[in-house]
Amino acid sequence: MSQQRALAHARVRPTGLGCMNVTHGYSSFPSRDDAVALFRAALDSGVDHFDTATLYGHGASEELLGEALGNRRDEIFLASKCGLRRNERGETVIDGEPASIKRQAEASLRRLGTETIDLYYLHRLDRKIPIEESVGALGELVSEGKIRSIGLSEVSVATLQRAETVHHVAAVQNEYSLATRNPELGMIEACRANGTAFVAFSPLSRALLAGTLERPWELPESDIRSFMPRFTSENYPQNLRLVDALRPVAEAVGISLAQLALAWVHAQGEHVLSIPGTAKRAHLLENSGADDVVLDAETVAACSAIIDQTTVHGARYTEGQLSSVDSEVFAG
């Protein structure tokens, strides 16, 4: 029996499935049939926490997941997000306006083919709208039974605390991995103290920590990694050398690099979960294997000493990307 961790009103396995990769952000997307088959393979393998969003593929990820779930909706914990969408011109916009949040939720429910979403996140803080107003709209969706719990993504501790004055925040979803330590600037502890789950997205640092991605600077321009600082031709080879230093640690435990990186995330607290994404069934099954891994303190420390914010080369985001997030950043 795999580990179980609290997430909102439920208990789920530590490793969920991020559903972005099949339609959004990266490249070499699977066909519609293959994407649906991937989601069904996840169901069959026991994955019980699926995370998608309005933004992913302009709603396509939600549609594919809804098709895959069919009459198996009750087998899983279903999370989605609002507040980051494409406008009529195809531009990505941050939109936390209360009426828009409700429209986005209704559209998510239709695409997912469900009457209730277990956890609905505000994907990004809309700086034009007080967080209290955005969370108030989400709270009304809870009262209406359209969502069960509220989450926030890429937010700071201060924003979480303001949101809590309106409605309990069941989960915060920020980027976290060996290579991206920003949540250690207060958010992981704030979530623990607040009774809020912390859900780590990109826990494999967009395939860096799995050791499977080569020459990302040659990826199509549509792939976000092709221009992210950490993945440039100058920085990425140096980061791969750090990953190579992790290999003996993984071998000593008898697990893969990806499983080591995920288990390290899970070791940061009983309230910490992860949602690695993939478009490949083999990687899906490999990632799920991290549920059964419990690292000892010595192994956790060894990993932490090899890769952290002081040893990784390149920022996680460009300046333009960073302007859209509210979460804490390291000085310098």
* Number of Cβ within a 10 Å radius of residue 69: 21
Residue 82, token pair as written in the block: 């609002």
- What integer is the mean pLDDT of 264-283? 98
Reduce the DSSP state of residue 281 to 3 states and report it: helix
**Per-residue pLDDT at 223:** 93
Q: Does residue 49 lie in a domain region?
A: yes
- Quickly list DSSP for 283-311: HHHHHHGGGG----HHHHHHHHHHSSTTT
Does the pLDDT value for residue 332 go beyond 90?
Answer: no
**pLDDT tens digit sequence for 55-100:** 999 999 999 999 999 999 999 999 999 999 988 888 889 999 999 9
**pLDDT tens digit sequence for 88-135:** 888 889 999 999 999 999 999 999 999 999 999 999 999 999 999 999
Q: What is the CA radius of gyration of the chain?
A: 19
- Averaged confidence pLDDT in the chain: 96
Find the domain containing 176 and state its range.
Answer: 5-204+259-293
Buried b (16+ CB within 10 A) or exposed e, 137-152: bbbbbbeeebbbbbbb
**Hey, which residues does 18 pair with through a beta bridge?**
51, 277
Q: Does residue 324 lie in a domain region?
A: no
Contact status, residue 116 vs residue 144, Cβ threshold 8 Å:
no
Residue 39, token pair as written in the block: 């989601």
**Per-residue pLDDT at 91:** 86
Please report, for residues 135, 147, 215, 289, the alpha-carbon distance to residue 12 in angstroms, rounded to integers and kept in the order given.
24, 18, 35, 14
**pLDDT tens digit sequence for 195-215:** 999 999 999 999 999 999 999
* Number of Cβ within a 10 Å radius of residue 167: 18
Does the pLDDT value for residue 247 go beyond 60?
Answer: yes
Cα–Cα distance for residue pair 23/95, rounded to 1 Å: 21
**pLDDT tens digit sequence for 299-312:** 999 999 999 999 99
HSE-CB at 34 with a 13 A cutoff on CA atoms is 11
Q: Does residue 302 lie in a domain region?
A: no
Cα–Cα distance for residue pair 127/114, rounded to 1 Å: 30
Alpha helix (H) residue ranges in the chain: 32-45, 60-69, 98-112, 131-143, 157-164, 187-194, 236-253, 257-266, 281-288, 297-306, 319-322
Cα–Cα distance for residue pair 115/122, rounded to 1 Å: 19
Is 56 designated active site? yes
Contact status, residue 327 vs residue 306, Cβ threshold 8 Å:
no
Q: Does residue 243 lie in a domain region?
A: no
- What residues contact 104, with CB distance under 8 A and at least 6 apart? 54, 82, 83, 85, 95
- What CATH number corresponds to the domain at position 20? 3.20.20.100
Q: Does residue 236 lie in a domain region?
A: no
Q: Out of 56, 121, 176, 317, pick the active-site residue.
A: 56
**Per-residue pLDDT at 2:** 65
Residue 308, token pair as written in the block: 């952290």
- What integer is the mean pLDDT of 220-236? 95
Say how many domains are in the chain. 1
Q: Does residue 308 lie in a domain region?
A: no
Q: Does residue 127 lie in a domain region?
A: yes
**Per-residue pLDDT at 86:** 86
- Order of strands, sheet of 197-201, starting from the edge strand that comes earlier in the sequence: 17-18, 49-51, 77-82, 117-122, 147-153, 171-175, 197-201, 272-274
Element (DSSP H or E) covering residue 117: strand 117-122
- Quickly list DSSP for 23-78: TSSSSSPPPHHHHHHHHHHHHHHT--EEE--STGGGGHHHHHHHHHHGGGGGGSEE
Cα–Cα distance for residue pair 292/158, rounded to 1 Å: 34
Assessment of whether the complete model's pTM goes beyond 0.95: yes
Q: Does residue 283 lie in a domain region?
A: yes
pLDDT category of residue 331 using cuts at 50, 70 and 90: confident
Contact status, residue 141 vs residue 102, Cβ threshold 8 Å:
yes
**pLDDT tens digit sequence for 128-154:** 999 999 999 999 999 999 999 999 999
Does the pLDDT value for residue 1 go beyond 70?
Answer: no
Instruction: Say which residue, 170 or 89, is predicted with more confidence.
Output: 170
**Per-residue pLDDT at 186:** 98
